[in-house]
């Protein structure tokens, strides 16, 4: 896969926002409403059970061609797929999220079938591979890092594999890789958590929270890739399966 490196001065980007791209409407009630909308708006092409028809593809396979996140699903539903019969829908945001949650639910039952690894072995790997240097789970790890608490109800097996093997495939701007060089010569890399006029807060690659005065910086850049390392080649295929199995238990 060709990776586009994208270097920009930080100032072009607005303050890091804490707005999460995760579906905010995921209660059982929301999903039930989503199901109702789905049957009235989408079933004619995607089938009442979402498994597809002659008019539209199966949406229950656990991966999507045009989306690999909640935000991606939201975009597909609001914008449609240009050049195909998949229309964009202009319902309100809440309704779109509810439909997205319903579709996600269809995939989660599928997901349980697909995760075939050993979850206990995966949990041991989770500890030994130092995932908690950057992530937060069950009261441990990097408290400002991305929480994996309900990852099992947010990502399909395919998406988890992508997250582990190709972390930079679909990375949101707030996770772009920050790198700065201090006037002292020290280089710091990691995830930019916050920025104001005078300082920047970075979760560095060793899991340490660093407050940096901008006046101490000689240079800085932001790259369109994740600070998460790829586990491709570091772990065997079986180990990846074990880790994914463990992640699916986090709900």
Residues at the interface with ligand HEC (CB under 6 A): 41-42, 44-46, 55-57, 59, 64-67, 73, 76-77, 81, 84-86, 89, 99, 126, 129-131, 133-135, 146, 148, 151, 154-155, 160, 163, 167, 171, 175, 191, 205, 226-229, 231, 243, 247
Residue with Cβ nearer ligand HEC (77 or 108) = 77
Judge contact between 134 and 227, C-beta under 8 A: yes
Instruction: Write down the least CB distance from residue 200 to ligand HEC, Å.
Output: 16
Q: Which residues contact 107 (CB under 8 A, 6 or more apart)?
A: 59, 60, 61, 62, 156
Residue with Cβ nearer ligand HEC (151 or 212) = 151
Instruction: Write down the least CB distance from residue 97 to ligand HEC, Å.
Output: 11
Instruction: Write down the least CB distance from residue 215 to ligand HEC, Å.
Output: 27
Give Cα separations from 174 to 14, 50, 71, 178, 215 (angstroms). Answer: 10, 32, 14, 10, 22
Residue with Cβ nearer ligand HEC (135 or 220) = 135
Instruction: Write down the least CB distance from residue 119 to ligand HEC, Å.
Output: 12
Q: What is the dihedral of CA 53, 58, 64, 70, to 10 degrees?
A: 100
Give Cα separations from 90 to 12, 45, 80, 94, 118 (angstroms). Answer: 30, 17, 10, 11, 43
């Amino acid at each position: 896969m060709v990776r586009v490196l994208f270097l920009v001065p930080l100032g072009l980007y607005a303050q890091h926002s804490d707005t999460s791209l995760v579906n905010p409407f995921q209660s059982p009630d929301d999903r039930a409403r989503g199901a109702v909308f789905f049957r009235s708006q989408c079933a004619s092409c995607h089938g009442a059970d979402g498994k597809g028809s002659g008019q539209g593809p199966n949406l229950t396979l656990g991966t999507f061609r045009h989306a690999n996140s909640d935000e991606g699903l939201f975009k597909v539903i609001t914008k449609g797929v240009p050049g195909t019969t998949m229309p964009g829908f202009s319902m309100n945001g809440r309704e779109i999220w509810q439909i997205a949650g319903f579709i996600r639910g269809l995939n989660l039952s599928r997901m349980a079938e697909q995760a075939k690894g050993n979850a206990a072995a995966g949990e041991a790997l989770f500890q030994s591979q130092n995932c908690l240097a950057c992530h937060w789970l069950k009261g441990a790890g990097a408290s400002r890092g991305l929480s994996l608490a309900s990852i099992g109800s947010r990502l399909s097996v395919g998406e988890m594999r992508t997250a582990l093997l190709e972390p930079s495939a679909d990375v949101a701007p707030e996770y772009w890789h920050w790198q700065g060089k201090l006037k002292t010569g020290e280089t710091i890399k990691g995830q930019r958590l916050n920025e104001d006029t005078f300082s920047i807060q970075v979760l560095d690659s060793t899991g340490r929270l660093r407050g940096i005065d901008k006046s101490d910086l000689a240079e800085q850049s932001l790259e369109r890739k994740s600070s998460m390392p790829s586990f491709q080649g570091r772990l065997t295929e079986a180990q990846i399966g074990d880790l994914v199995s463990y992640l699916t238990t986090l709900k």
